[in-house]
Amino acid sequence: MTLSISCRCGTSRIFASGIPVLRAYCHSQACRELFGGAVTALAAWRRSEVDLPAGARALACFTLGNRQSKRHFCAGCGDILFAEDALGFRLIPGQALANAGHGAVPERFAPIMHVNYSQRQFDVADNLPKYLERPGGPMYDGLRAPPRPPRSLEIPVSMQQVRALRGNAKIL
């Protein structure tokens, strides 16, 4: 079955055929750089199974600094239709899948696991399997140290600094 995905402005379109090799929430730094979110819902297809319609103009393409991954997006609206990872898979982000599903990711493409969970920026409370890296590898056991808190939550203020601040407040 072929999935037809268009961007938000309707000028770009791709087709994905066959069954994705991965449907996951990816917590990798690579996906943060590719897609711009802290965690990315995505489905990955083999390279040959994602293509543009015959005769269509190429999508805009940006190769990331590591020269191993590429972002393919619509020059009109900026929607990322797919990205290519270092292994040559074509990753279609949840936003593009949702465009194909009238606002919601079609159930047969929805994430069924978390991958690269060791790189997460926050914990996720759901019942999906959480692989520290690739699917099939070691899993998160819930007992490991939580991710580092965001910097704004760290309080590097000494009592001396607090006294200094109080002093300034008096002057004001």
Helix-strand-coil split of the chain, %, nearest 5: 25, 25, 50
Q: Which of 3, 5, 7, 59 binds Zn ion (CB under 5 A)?
A: 7
Closest CB to Zn ion among residues 18, 76: 76
Report the residue count for the chain: 172
Least CB distance to Zn ion at residue 127 (A): 21
Only one of the segments 12-20, 103-111, 138-146, 150-158 lies at the binding site for Zn ion (rule: CB under 5 A); that segment is 12-20
* Residue 38 makes contact with Zn ion by CB under 5 A: no
Q: Which of 77, 124, 128, 162 binds Zn ion (CB under 5 A)?
A: 77
Q: 């704004």: which residue's tokens?
A: 152
* Residue 59 makes contact with Zn ion by CB under 5 A: no
CA-to-CA separations, 130 to 12, 73, 145, in angstroms, rounded: 34, 29, 15
Q: 């819930």: which residue's tokens?
A: 142
Closest among 12, 14, 94 to 4, alpha carbons compared: 14
Main-chain dihedrals φ then ψ at residue 42, nearest 5 degrees: -155, 160
* Residue 26 makes contact with Zn ion by CB under 5 A: yes
Q: Which of 20, 28, 59, 120 binds Zn ion (CB under 5 A)?
A: 28
* Residue 9 makes contact with Zn ion by CB under 5 A: yes
* Residue 132 makes contact with Zn ion by CB under 5 A: no
Least CB distance to Zn ion at residue 118 (A): 12
5 conformational bin, left if phi > 0, alpha if psi -120 to 50, beta if neither: beta
Q: Are 147 and 123 in contact (CB under 8 A)?
A: yes
Q: Which of 18, 53, 76, 136 binds Zn ion (CB under 5 A)?
A: 76
* Residue 31 makes contact with Zn ion by CB under 5 A: yes
Residues that bind Zn ion (CB under 5 A): 7, 9, 11-12, 26, 28, 31, 74, 76-77
